[in-house]
């Protein structure tokens, strides 16, 4: 019903059950299978037919721990006997009631003397009881059973019950064992650490070595490269110098050679250009000849002028003669006619 | 019977899986005495790896963080002790690194109680040995350097722990330590009277001299004479670490010059050459430490042989090195180092 109760197996294997407290449900006398709704109508406990009401002294429903008085006991015993008899009788009847034996007769018996009537009227009787005053009871005599069997004695000696050496052994074992265990663990730990440390140290040493070697080689490399660079630079210098010197020598040789015939060449060229001259010759050339040429020109000019004059005169004369002759001719011709 | 405790300094421990959670519940009680006892029991339990795993994974580290700021100094010291035990295992270390317990822990560095400070240093030291831990502690390096500077009179144990933490962190990245003027600080520690302090200081110096800057600083601060003295120390580890610093420093030219001036070559040769008692050395641990010393000396000599003066000196002593590189030498690494040394010494341009 809505899982209000739990019963399950605990992980440790025990069985547990638990359920929430819930009020009693109102159910009809002849139960139908419980449905989901019934738990909602809680019956009022005051009107629940299952709860016992009223005077409970006279109700013989469940006799509890109260001491029944002998009459009750007898009656109950009678009841039981009858019930058993009834059951036995019923069982005998079960297949079929057998025929009555010889000299017997079956009689129907009504047990109404022993019927109980359930009625609302509770039969109640008032009974009083009073205990008698306590009488002094005489002291119970000491019970000494009759002696039987053999008499045997025993005595516990010193050290028989408890032997310290034997008892202490397990305790001692545990104590010593635990101490040794602890110390072994500590010693092992230290040894482990020591061996780790030793290994680390060995590695460190090797590493240091190799590192130093590496540094040294690096340094060496550096120095060598530096040295090489320097040497190369030096060599380059030397080469350059040599080249320069060679060039200088070549230049010098060439210049010398060139300058060797410079002098006569200069002189020749100067002479050819007329920078070395004979002054008289130069004078004659510069002064005399132009005058001479000028005079010659003059005189020739005069001659030409004269010739031209002559030519003009001749031309004039010729022209005049021609004109005259022409004039002469014409009248002559005319005259001839 | 029920009220009597067997051991009055320890709280009763529940059985099995309930042990650790119940002790942590005890830790939430207001009474100091109960908390102290619960912490003591926890410290005992946590040696067991399973309990440690339970502690770490049960989310109880937050409670420990609260306890770190408690008023009672003994409680704080015990909590740090517990953390120290947690760092013994990898799970614990990783959990500590991933939880944000480092800032309150670093606050405790300035605590008033010295045992508390010592335990904090122990925790930090263990954490620093893990690379991830060293990484996380790099931010703390300046503070640690400050602590180192202040603690002139502090106990030797704390100094040793501090120096060890610093060297682990510097192995990962030496720059923070160098920036806080580590070289000069460590130089003072190199001449401490205690062997442990000297050893750790030399190891830290070795880690610092790995980067270029460190090498230069070592040369500038004139640390090399001190180191040469340390090479004559009695303890093999101190000698090895000093040889290591020299090995790194002579890579740069200034270092080479200074070392050659200090005439360190014979000392190194003496350390690197085979000695009779070495062959009879039975103890593995001692042999391993000697091996480190020999290797560092050989490498330092190799670097010194790069310089012409060094090469000249070493050419005279070549047989010693050759002896080391013979096949008779059992250790392969030493043989290799010696062969390299011989090769460098006999190199001609």
Q: What string of H, E and C letters represents the secondary structure of B289-330?
A: HHHHHHHHHHHHHHHHCCCHHHHHHHHHCHHHHHHHHCCCCC
| DSSP assignment letter at A146 | P
Per-residue pLDDT at A300 exceeds 90? yes
CA distance B68 to chain A (A): 25
Please answer yes or no on whether A205 and B295 come within 8 Å at the CB atom. Answer: yes
Q: How confident is the model at residue A314 (pLDDT cuts 50, 70, 90)?
A: very high
Instruction: Determine which of A85-99, B23-37, B324-338 has the lowest per-residue pLDDT on average.
Output: B324-338
Please answer yes or no on whether B299 and A189 come within 8 Å at the CB atom. Answer: no
pLDDT value of position A28 = 65
pLDDT in tens, B145-181: 888 877 665 678 888 888 888 888 888 888 888 888 8
Does A142 or B282 have the greater pLDDT score?
Answer: A142
Q: How many CA atoms lie within 13 A of B215 on its CB side?
A: 21
Mean of the per-residue pLDDT values of chain A: 82
CA distance B181 to chain A (A): 23
Chain A residue with the nearest C-alpha to that of B307:
A220
Please answer yes or no on whether A223 and B306 come within 8 Å at the CB atom. Answer: yes
Q: What is the mean pLDDT of residues A125-136?
A: 84
Q: Which residues of A touch B (CB under 8 A)?
A: 182, 185-186, 189, 193, 197-198, 200, 202, 204-206, 208-209, 211-213, 215-216, 218-220, 223
Does A146 or A31 have the greater pLDDT score?
Answer: A146
Per-residue pLDDT at A35 exceeds 60? no
pLDDT value of position A10 = 64
Q: What is the mean pLDDT of residues A183-200?
A: 87
Q: Are B141 and B177 in contact (CB under 8 A)?
A: yes
CA distance B47 to chain A (A): 6
Instruction: Determine which of A138-147, A233-242, B2-11 has the lowest per-residue pLDDT on average.
Output: B2-11
pLDDT value of position A161 = 80
Please answer yes or no on whether B337 and A209 come within 8 Å at the CB atom. Answer: yes
Please answer yes or no on whether B303 and A212 come within 8 Å at the CB atom. Answer: yes
Q: Are B235 and B199 in contact (CB under 8 A)?
A: yes
For testing the chain A interface, which of B295, B298, B339, B343 should be mutated: the one with the most A CBs within 10 Å? B295
DSSP characters over B237-296? HHHHHHHHHHHHHTTSHHHHHHHHHTT-HHHHHHHHS--HHHHT---HHHHHHHHHHHHH
CA distance A209 to chain B (A): 7
Does A148 or B275 have the greater pLDDT score?
Answer: A148
pLDDT value of position B349 = 66
Q: Are B187 and B172 in contact (CB under 8 A)?
A: no
Q: Are B162 and B198 in contact (CB under 8 A)?
A: no
Please answer yes or no on whether B302 and A200 come within 8 Å at the CB atom. Answer: no
User: What's chain B's length in residues?
Assistant: 349
And the tokens for A156? 């516990």
Nearest to B48 among A185, A206, A208 (CB): A185
Those residues with Cβ within 8 angstroms of residue B202's Cβ, 6 or more apart along the chain or in another chain: B190, B227, B230, B238, B241, B242, B244, B245
pLDDT value of position A4 = 58
Per-residue pLDDT at A128 exceeds 70? yes
Nearest to A213 among B48, B292, B299 (CB): B299
Instruction: Determine which of A260-274, B180-194, B279-293 has the lowest per-residue pLDDT on average.
Output: B279-293
Q: How confident is the model at residue B321 (pLDDT cuts 50, 70, 90)?
A: confident
Q: How confident is the model at residue B86 (pLDDT cuts 50, 70, 90)?
A: confident
pLDDT in tens, B109-151: 887 778 888 888 888 888 888 888 888 888 888 888 888 877 6
Chain B residue with the nearest C-alpha to that of A179:
B44
Give the angle B309-B342-B284 at the CA atoms, nearest 5°. 115
Q: What is the mean pLDDT of residues B322-336?
A: 72
Decide if the complex's ipTM is over 0.90: no
Q: CA of B56: how far to CAs of B76, B103, B116, B135, in Å? A: 19, 18, 22, 21
Chain B residue with the nearest C-alpha to that of A208:
B244
Q: To the nearest 5 percent, what fractions of chain B are helix, strand and coil?
A: 75, 0, 25
Please answer yes or no on whether B299 and A205 come within 8 Å at the CB atom. Answer: no
pTM (2 decimals)? Answer: 0.59
pLDDT in tens, A86-101: 888 887 766 666 777 8
**Chain A contact for B294, CB < 8 A?**
no
pLDDT value of position A228 = 92
Nearest to B288 among A182, A202, A218 (CB): A202
Write out chain A residues lying below 8 Å of B236, CB-based. none
pLDDT in tens, A278-288: 778 888 888 88
Please answer yes or no on whether B251 and A215 come within 8 Å at the CB atom. Answer: yes
Among A1-5, A6-10, B132-136, B329-333, which range has the highest average pLDDT? B132-136
pLDDT value of position A174 = 92
Q: Are B13 and B42 in contact (CB under 8 A)?
A: no
| DSSP assignment letter at B210 | S
Chain A residue with the nearest C-alpha to that of B340:
A213
Please answer yes or no on whether A208 and B306 come within 8 Å at the CB atom. Answer: no
DSSP characters over B331-342? -HHHHHHHHHHH
Q: How confident is the model at residue A295 (pLDDT cuts 50, 70, 90)?
A: very high
Domains, in order of start, for chain B = 6-128 (1.25.10.10)
pLDDT value of position A67 = 63
pLDDT value of position A237 = 96
Q: What is the mean pLDDT of residues A253-263?
A: 87
Write out chain B residues lying below 8 Å of A219, CB-based. 251-253, 303, 306
Per-residue pLDDT at A7 exceeds 70? no
Q: How confident is the model at residue B1 (pLDDT cuts 50, 70, 90)?
A: very low
Annotated domain spans of chain A:
279-329
> Which percentage of chain A shows pLDDT scores above 90?
24
Q: How confident is the model at residue A60 (pLDDT cuts 50, 70, 90)?
A: low
Residues 131-170 of B with CB under 8 A from A: none
Q: How far apart are CA B161 and CA B109, in angstroms?
A: 13
Per-residue pLDDT at B335 exceeds 70? yes
Those residues with Cβ within 8 angstroms of residue B33's Cβ, 6 or more apart along the chain or in another chain: none
**Inter-chain CB pairs, A–B, below 8 Å:** 59
Please answer yes or no on whether B88 and A215 come within 8 Å at the CB atom. Answer: no
Please answer yes or no on whether B292 and A205 come within 8 Å at the CB atom. Answer: yes
Write out chain B residues lying below 8 Å of A209, CB-based. 295-296, 299, 333, 337
Instruction: Determine which of A35-39, A234-238, A246-250 has the lowest per-residue pLDDT on average.
Output: A35-39
CA distance A214 to chain B (A): 10
Instruction: Determine which of A10-14, A301-305, B236-240 has the lowest per-residue pLDDT on average.
Output: A10-14
CA distance B48 to chain A (A): 6
Chain A residue with the nearest C-alpha to that of B130:
A200
Nearest to B299 among A182, A204, A209 (CB): A209
Q: What is the mean pLDDT of residues B234-244?
A: 85
And the tokens for B114? 């010295």
Q: How confident is the model at residue A46 (pLDDT cuts 50, 70, 90)?
A: confident
Write out chain A residues lying below 8 Å of B302, CB-based. 213, 216
Chain B residue with the nearest C-alpha to that of A204:
B171
Neighbours of B349 (CB within 10 A): 6
For testing the chain A interface, which of B272, B284, B303 should be mutated: the one with the most A CBs within 10 Å? B303
Residues 111-130 of B with CB under 8 A from A: 129
Write out chain A residues lying below 8 Å of B268, CB-based. none
Cα dihedral: A60, A61, A67, A72 (round 10):
40
């Amino acid at each position: 019903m809505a899982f209000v109760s739990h019963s399950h197996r605990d992980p440790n294997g025990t069985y547990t059950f638990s359920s929430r407290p819930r009020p009693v449900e109102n159910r009809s006398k002849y139960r139908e299978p419980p449905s989901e709704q019934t738990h909602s109508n809680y019956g009022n406990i005051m009107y629940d037919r299952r709860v016992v009401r009223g005077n409970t002294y006279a109700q013989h429903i469940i006799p509890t721990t109260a001491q029944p008085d002998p009459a009750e006991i007898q009656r109950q015993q009678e009841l039981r006997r009858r019930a058993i008899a009834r059951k036995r009788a019923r069982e005998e009847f079960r297949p079929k009631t057998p025929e009555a034996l010889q000299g017997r007769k079956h009689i129907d018996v009504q047990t109404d003397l022993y019927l109980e009537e359930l009625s609302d009227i509770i039969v109640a009787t008032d009974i009083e009881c009073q205990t008698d005053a306590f009488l002094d009871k005489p002291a119970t005599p000491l019970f000494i059973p009759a002696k039987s069997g053999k008499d045997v004695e025993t005595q516990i000696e010193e050290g028989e019950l408890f032997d310290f050496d034997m008892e202490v052994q397990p305790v001692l074992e545990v104590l010593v064992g635990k101490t040794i265990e602890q110390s072994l663990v500590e010693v092992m730990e230290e040894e482990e650490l020591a061996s780790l440390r030793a290994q680390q140290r060995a590695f460190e040493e090797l590493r240091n070595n190799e590192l130093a070697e590496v540094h040294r080689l690096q340094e060496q490399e550096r120095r060598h490269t530096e040295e090489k660079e320097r040497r190369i630079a030096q060599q380059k210098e030397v080469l350059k110098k040599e080249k320069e010197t060679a060039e200088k020598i070549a230049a010098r040789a060439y210049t010398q050679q060139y300058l060797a015939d410079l002098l006569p060449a200069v002189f020749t060229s100067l002479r050819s250009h007329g920078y070395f001259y004979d002054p008289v010759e130069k004078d004659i050339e510069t002064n005399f000849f132009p005058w001479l040429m000028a005079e010659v020109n003059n005189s020739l000019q005069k001659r030409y002028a004269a010739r031209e004059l002559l030519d003009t005169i001749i031309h004039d004369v010729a022209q005049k003669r021609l004109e005259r002759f022409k004039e002469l001719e014409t009248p002559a011709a005319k005259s001839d006619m | 019977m029920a009220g009597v405790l067997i051991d009055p300094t320890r709280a009763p421990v529940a059985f099995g899986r309930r042990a650790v959670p119940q002790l942590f519940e005890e830790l939430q009680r207001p009474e100091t005495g109960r908390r102290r006892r619960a912490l003591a029991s926890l410290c005992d339990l946590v040696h067991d790896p399973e309990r440690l795993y339970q502690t770490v994974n049960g989310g109880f580290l937050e409670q420990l963080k609260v306890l770190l700021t408690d008023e009672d100094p003994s409680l704080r010291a015990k909590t740090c002790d517990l953390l120290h035990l947690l760092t013994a295992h990898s799970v614990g270390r990783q959990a500590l690194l991933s939880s944000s317990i480092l800032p309150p822990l670093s606050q405790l560095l300035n605590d008033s109680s010295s045992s508390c400070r010592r335990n904090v240093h122990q925790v930090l030291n263990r954490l620093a040995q893990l690379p991830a831990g060293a990484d996380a502690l790099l931010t703390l390096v300046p503070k640690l350097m400050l602590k180192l500077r202040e603690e002139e009179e502090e106990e030797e144990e704390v100094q040793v722990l501090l120096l060890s933490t610093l060297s682990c962190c510097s192995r990962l990245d030496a720059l923070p330590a160098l920036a806080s003027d580590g070289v000069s600080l460590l130089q003072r520690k190199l001449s401490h009277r205690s062997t442990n302090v000297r050893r750790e200081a030399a190891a830290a110096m070795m880690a610092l001299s790995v980067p270029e800057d460190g090498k230069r600083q070592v040369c500038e601060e004139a640390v090399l004479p001190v180191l040469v003295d340390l090479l004559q120390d009695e303890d093999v580890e101190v000698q090895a670490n000093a040889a290591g610093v020299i090995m790194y420093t002579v890579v740069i030219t200034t270092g080479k010059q200074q070392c050659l001036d200090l005439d360190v070559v014979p000392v190194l040769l003496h350390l690197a050459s085979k000695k009779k008692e070495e062959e009879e050395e039975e103890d593995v641990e001692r042999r391993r430490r000697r091996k480190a010393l020999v290797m560092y000396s050989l490498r330092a000599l190799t670097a010194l042989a790069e310089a012409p003066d060094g090469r000249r000196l070493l050419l005279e002593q070549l047989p010693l090195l050759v002896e080391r590189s013979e096949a008779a030498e059992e250790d392969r690494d030493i043989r290799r180092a010696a062969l390299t040394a011989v090769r460098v010494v006999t190199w001609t341009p």
